[in-house]
Chain A
């Protein structure tokens, strides 16, 4: 089974009246175990006796609130998203492993991301076995959530209209300080454009939690997001 089957199942389940009752086939946990050693084990322990090391251990991570373990190394960004309601369900783990910064811009996890969706499914299938009663773990509800921040290449290639972005930015600077200070609300001055675009689409797709930002992002089209990214990306902190 591949990850693609999973998404087909979700799409079918979205048809009114069709409930998603059968377990969703996941990836191959044996291949996942190999990948884990290569991709994750340097920082994250898993299994009996696992402890926090460079990163937190990953036992029972499924459906846990992000940043909620007694681990000192969480970034403020991850802890903040946890408080906002980010939980590690399949879709969000998948998105995080695909590109950690697309889900949590300020994460401390220095991992470039795993591009191949099937490999991610295998990896998650392995990690999932170390969560409580893995057979009962609810998969993400078959809603409109995209499996990750899926951005067609042409969206990332839009050349942002910085002048328009400056106008639109007025909606941002009511809360995000022009100085770039980030007490209470994160600073967004001088963000790399692509990070900005990906983050805004993650809010728009409701992969990232936070009601205000979801509300803001849902009103922005692709060009407007690119315009904002161009404007803020061109600013430097005072």
Chain B
């Protein structure tokens, strides 16, 4: 017997009918506009254009001509990768039929279904995908705002900030102190700050072994904590100190002009200070009226559709969806669901039930890689984790090396999936 159930026909047409009619009349192709060309928006644009074979008019609005991934920028910081290794251009995406506008999206008129551009003019859409990443919460760390980012870099959006932080670490005085003000939950890339600590420790233990690392952390616990702490004790004994909320890590102020960090009233002089403030959805999501009081854009778990507007989808770090961590992998995974749904609604192609996944690899020291990940499904109100895995403490060196090599394989895979 041959089994071949076409199970999902029908859902597409039903969903489409409930929404505003796409511009399928006449010769006009339905229009999809994507704001943000990172792992979420870039993936969505590519899949929408490739899979629809020209049936959709797909426009990507992204100010940068080169996209530098935030993920693996820590490897650059640790001296394992070159800065250029992080950069990807949009040439292939254009060749796949995505109309790319290198400009800022300034505002969204959701009634008129248009996005206005920094350089003037506007583009209209039948469906809008918003994937702007994060912005920092004003006043989250007293004494710090973006005007101080050259003195105290955040280095949490990759690009030049990562270069600046690397230069500061490498030129730190002998025996100096590198301080990190870690962010409260939720924030992008949960293991990211702690992988960064590992990479800074790696550099310092080679170039400046009497230097110290101080983490000021408002969180009681953090991602892969057992794995990181085991690795820090093994590879960088005595170098790293972490002050959690029980010792005032949640009460911190910085003084960029004096290079001081004030922890629960105690003044510490530091040489490099990496401030990673509390985060919220990228500005355009807020301007478009898609965010809630918490600063994130709430979405429906089955298809990442905005709870504010049925014609709008929010992807990746900016979205509030439930259990998935804010990561490039998550955004890539969500984008594929969104691309499938939008294509189904606008071209009557098949819509399949959502499935989501995430994995995060981190490097602790040379060839010492660890990973964490999970599979996700839409629940009643939010996306829920259905199974998870994590590297174990005490794993042998061979397995850790393989995990690191796997992470390189993953990087090559995901950037190929977006920009290839």
List, in ascending order, chain A residues with CB within 8 A of B321's CB: none
A175→B4 contact, CB < 8 A:
no
* B355 contacts A by Cβ under 8 Å: yes
B388→A215 contact, CB < 8 A:
yes
Q: How far is the CA of A181 from the CA of B420 in the complex (A)?
A: 13
List, in ascending order, chain A residues with CB within 8 A of B1's CB: 154, 157
* B287 contacts A by Cβ under 8 Å: no
Q: How far is the CA of A80 from the CA of B409 in the complex (A)?
A: 14
Taken residue by residue from 192 to 226, chain A's Cβ proximity to chain B (1 for < 8 Å, 0 otherwise) reads as: 00000000000000000001101110110001000
Known A174-B333, A223-B5; contact A216-B412, beta-carbon cutoff 8 A: no
B416→A215 contact, CB < 8 A:
no
Taken residue by residue from 126 to 164, chain A's Cβ proximity to chain B (1 for < 8 Å, 0 otherwise) reads as: 000000000000000000000000000010011101011
B389→A83 contact, CB < 8 A:
no
In the complex, which residue of chain A has the Cβ closest to the Cβ of B328? A174
Q: How far is the CA of A80 from the CA of B405 in the complex (A)?
A: 11
B412→A184 contact, CB < 8 A:
yes
List, in ascending order, chain B residues with CB within 8 A of A167's CB: 336, 340, 350, 352
List, in ascending order, chain B residues with CB within 8 A of A157's CB: 1-3
Q: How far is the CA of A164 from the CA of B6 in the complex (A)?
A: 9
A1 → chain B closest CB, angstroms: 37
Q: How far is the CA of A67 from the CA of B173 in the complex (A)?
A: 47
* B147 contacts A by Cβ under 8 Å: no
* A176 contacts B by Cβ under 8 Å: yes
A219 → chain B closest CB, angstroms: 5
Q: How far is the CA of A211 from the CA of B316 in the complex (A)?
A: 24
Known A159-B4, A161-B4, A174-B333; contact A183-B412, beta-carbon cutoff 8 A: yes
In the complex, which residue of chain B has the Cβ closest to the Cβ of A178? B416
B5→A179 contact, CB < 8 A:
no
* A185 contacts B by Cβ under 8 Å: yes
B381 → chain A closest CB, angstroms: 21
9 CB-based A-B contacts, threshold 8 Å:
A158-B2, A173-B416, A174-B333, A174-B410, A175-B414, A178-B416, A183-B412, A211-B389, A219-B386
Taken residue by residue from 378 to 396, chain B's Cβ proximity to chain A (1 for < 8 Å, 0 otherwise) reads as: 0000000011110000000
* B402 contacts A by Cβ under 8 Å: yes
Taken residue by residue from 397 to 414, chain B's Cβ proximity to chain A (1 for < 8 Å, 0 otherwise) reads as: 011001001111110111
List, in ascending order, chain A residues with CB within 8 A of B8's CB: 164
Top 4 nearest A-B pairs (CB, nearest first) are A184-B409, A185-B409, A170-B336, A211-B389
Q: How far is the CA of A177 from the CA of B416 in the complex (A)?
A: 7
List, in ascending order, chain A residues with CB within 8 A of B309's CB: none
B412→A215 contact, CB < 8 A:
no
Chain B 32-64 interface residues, beta-carbon cutoff 8 Å to A:
47, 51
B352→A184 contact, CB < 8 A:
no
Given A158-B2, A174-B410, A215-B389, 8 extra CB contacts under 8 A:
A83-B399, A157-B2, A167-B340, A171-B333, A174-B329, A174-B333, A181-B412, A219-B387
Q: How far is the CA of A212 from the CA of B386 in the complex (A)?
A: 13
Taken residue by residue from 350 to 394, chain B's Cβ proximity to chain A (1 for < 8 Å, 0 otherwise) reads as: 101001010100000000000101110100000000111100000
Q: How far is the CA of A75 from the CA of B412 in the complex (A)?
A: 23
* A34 contacts B by Cβ under 8 Å: no
Q: Which of A80, A159, A164, A173 contacts B417 (CB 8 A)?
A: A173
* A30 contacts B by Cβ under 8 Å: no
B410→A84 contact, CB < 8 A:
no
Q: How far is the CA of A212 from the CA of B332 in the complex (A)?
A: 17
Known A83-B399, A159-B2, A171-B355; contact A218-B387, beta-carbon cutoff 8 A: yes
Q: How far is the CA of A175 from the CA of B360 in the complex (A)?
A: 11
A175→B409 contact, CB < 8 A:
yes
List, in ascending order, chain A residues with CB within 8 A of B388's CB: 215
List, in ascending order, chain A residues with CB within 8 A of B412's CB: 177, 181, 183-184
List, in ascending order, chain B residues with CB within 8 A of A175's CB: 359, 409-410, 413-414
List, in ascending order, chain B residues with CB within 8 A of A174's CB: 329, 332-333, 357, 410, 413-414, 417
A177 → chain B closest CB, angstroms: 5
A77 → chain B closest CB, angstroms: 12
B3→A177 contact, CB < 8 A:
no
List, in ascending order, chain B residues with CB within 8 A of A177's CB: 409, 412-413, 416
In the complex, which residue of chain A has the Cβ closest to the Cβ of B391? A211
A179→B416 contact, CB < 8 A:
yes
Q: Which of B3, B6, B387, B399 contacts A215 (CB 8 A)?
A: B387
A163→B416 contact, CB < 8 A:
no
A84→B408 contact, CB < 8 A:
no
In the complex, which residue of chain B has the Cβ closest to the Cβ of A226? B3
B334 → chain A closest CB, angstroms: 10
Q: Which of B4, B340, B402, B417 contacts A83 (CB 8 A)?
A: B402
In the complex, which residue of chain A has the Cβ closest to the Cβ of B329? A174
List, in ascending order, chain A residues with CB within 8 A of B355's CB: 168, 171, 219
B413 → chain A closest CB, angstroms: 5
A171→B420 contact, CB < 8 A:
no
Chain A 86-140 interface residues, beta-carbon cutoff 8 Å to B:
none
List, in ascending order, chain B residues with CB within 8 A of A183's CB: 405, 408-409, 412
List, in ascending order, chain B residues with CB within 8 A of A216's CB: 357, 375
Known A174-B329, A216-B357; contact A185-B389, beta-carbon cutoff 8 A: no
Q: How far is the CA of A158 from the CA of B414 in the complex (A)?
A: 30
Q: How far is the CA of A180 from the CA of B373 in the complex (A)?
A: 23
B259 → chain A closest CB, angstroms: 40
Q: How far is the CA of A179 from the CA of B352 in the complex (A)?
A: 25
Q: How far is the CA of A182 from the CA of B409 in the complex (A)?
A: 7
A170→B47 contact, CB < 8 A:
yes
